[in-house]
Structure 1
Amino acid sequence: MDEPFLRVQSRLTDRDHVLLGWLADHGVLTSFQVAHALYPSLDFAQRRLRKLCQVELLARFRPFRAEGGTHPYHYVLGQLGTEIVAIARGEDPPRKDQARRRRWHLTNRANLPHLLGVNQFFTDLAAYARTHPSASLDRWWPASRYATRSAFLEESDPPTLAAYIPKVRPDGYGVFSEDGGRVSFYLEYDTGSEPLTTLIAKVDGYRELAHVTGRSYPVLFWLHSSVRELHLHQRLTAAGVRYPVATAAVDAAGQQAASPTDRQWLMHRFSTGRQRLVDLGHPRSVDV
């Protein structure tokens, strides 16, 4: 290892390693997301982020804003950060041209707002856990993890399941705990660009997956409007969907700043009203 690598690595904090790992897995985070999830203040976070950029652990950019003004800085892994994460995970560091292409792809991707929306959901969970000792974000897996057919399988599954080709690819998978409760879930982050029939088809894919694996985790639709949420539940009812689906709308009841942990989740076919995230429960058997 060269001297700069050793010098920088010895100065990294546990929080730095968490951030580097998140960026390796989830691509891009804004300064506000990083601060909210990991630091006591935005100013504290910005000072640390600048230092990490100065030593090429991170790189940053600001997307074009057509309506004027500026976006916050968006952060991705720098070359040195990519190498440190790879070595910490026992992987071969990518070539410089590979890491450079990944950075270019992340800074120029057309669906960057969707990626940031998904990451906002999970950084909100991490921020809640940071300030609530009884809560924890135990798992946060990205959509990229589900690019292979074996991603949904576990070591205890029979070899015959390896031939199954899943029809779904969640925007994320999470496990969240609070006050002794625990929920595992698939996230579908909805911007309103897809027809509701597409969302129904996704639920059918999760139902089939559950039948094959014997594991049924609720699908969470994080929707942009309460009107779309109402229409989705109407379509779910018309389609006779019985797989566990929960919805929440960002604009519901003026709760734009509400956390996904709050009592705003509506489980389809249940009349108990809005529930907290952790109350959505443990993995359940397939309900057909």
Structure 2
Amino acid sequence: MDDPVLRVQVRLTERDRTLLGWLYDHGVLTSFQIANALFPSLDFCQRRLRTLTELRLITRFRPNRPDGGSYPYHYVIEQLGAETIAAARGERPPRREHARTERRRWTAGHLLAHRLGVNQFFTDLAGHARSHPGTSLDAWWSESACRRPGAFVRSDDPVVLRAYQPRVRPDGYGEWTEDGVTVPFFLEYDTGTEPLGTLVDKLDGYTALARHLGRVWPVLFWLHSPARERNLQRILTDQPPIVPVATGHRADSSSPAGEVWAIAQAGWYRYRLAELPAS
């Protein structure tokens, strides 16, 4: 076969395609994130990653720690991997410099830590689903996918799709299913650098979206500490949100699928992700 895309397609498993799609859509994943989300063991994962690297579908880099040592390997998609995913989706081939541009963005960019944090949230959900029958991560949209004209609109009318531009800029959109119950949600991943008032102001866009769509999905604030969560809850208690809001913190490394979500409209009691209100 002269076409490199056709040559590698026959060597890919469904799990490989899932991984390549994630890297194409979400930029960068660590070896630990990939192993947790998709593989039964880290060793098995590393062997497969080496194979995909040798096929020039993905590549890796390893940032240095400021205090010495290095982080785990970080994986990004190669040009052949990007072209393979675009072909599988029936999309136009990515520009020739797509993979190089993305690689430079994540190896040199200041956005790496935030993107890895967002991706950790979703790969934690995928890892939970892998080991818990009856659960599944049915959708994982990137920030850029959420900003596309017509995103979230249920319509086959191209005029309607082009006319509607979402005002929200979530860090991700997901759909989580547990025991037959599916909850769509928006993720706001907090690093602690923005004023809490800025977080609250984001809810105006979600309120406008809910009114436009006639549907309401919870907004999840995934905060970096219990103290910051409590402070945000105080503000939301004084300024009750119109859309459902749930807060959680990642300080104790609990799964975001678990009973970690406090709901503004329910006295800040904790609920599982699948128990959050959506309509």
TM-score computed with the length of structure 1 as normaliser? 0.91
The equivalent residue for 1:134 is 134
Q: Equivalents in 2 of 1:102, 1:28: separation in Å?
A: 9
The equivalent residue for 1:270 is 266
Whether 1:247 and 2:243 are equivalent positions in the alignment is no
Q: Deviations over 1:149-185 (max 9, x none)?
A: 3223221689568545433211001111111222110
Q: Equivalents in 2 of 1:4, 1:14: separation in Å?
A: 19
- Conserved 8 A contact 2:24-2:77: yes
Q: Equivalents in 1 of 2:180, 2:162: separation in Å?
A: 34
Q: How many residues align?
A: 279
Deviation at 1:15, TM superposition (A): 0.6
Q: Which amino acid in 1 is paired with 2:275?
A: D
Q: How has the CA–CA distance of structure 1 residues 210 and 109 changed in structure 2, closer, same or farther, with 3 Å as cutoff?
A: same
Q: Deviations over 1:7-56 (max 9, x none)?
A: 32211111101101111111100000000000000011001101111110
Superposition map of 1:32-181 within 5 A: 32-155=32-155, 163-181=163-181
Deviation at 1:233, TM superposition (A): 1.0
Deviates more, 1:57-66 or 1:234-243: 234-243
**Could you say what secondary structure the match of 2:80 adopts?**
helix
Deviation at 1:213, TM superposition (A): 1.5
Q: Equivalents in 1 of 2:162, 2:238: separation in Å?
A: 34
- Conserved 8 A contact 2:186-2:219: yes
Q: Deviations over 1:88-114 (max 9, x none)?
A: 111222243233222222322211111
Unaligned runs of 5+ in 2: none
Whether 1:193 and 2:189 are equivalent positions in the alignment is no
Deviation at 1:276, TM superposition (A): 0.6
Deviation at 1:116, TM superposition (A): 0.5
Deviates more, 1:95-104 or 1:44-53: 95-104
The percentage of aligned residue pairs carrying the same residue is 56
Deviation at 1:271, TM superposition (A): 3.0
Query: Pairwise CA RMSD of aligned residues?
Result: 1.9
- Conserved 8 A contact 1:157-1:213: no
Q: Equivalents in 2 of 1:270, 1:261: separation in Å?
A: 18
Q: How has the CA–CA distance of structure 1 residues 97 and 280 changed in structure 2, closer, same or farther, with 3 Å as cutoff?
A: same
Q: Equivalents in 2 of 1:21, 1:161: separation in Å?
A: 24
**Could you say what secondary structure the match of 1:193 adopts?**
coil
Deviation at 1:4, TM superposition (A): 4.2
Match of residue 257, structure 2, among 219, 239, 261: 261
Q: Which amino acid in 2 is paired with 1:15?
A: R
Q: Which amino acid in 1 is paired with 2:104?
A: W
Q: Deviations over 1:51-71 (max 9, x none)?
A: 111110001011232121111
TM-score computed with the length of structure 2 as normaliser? 0.94
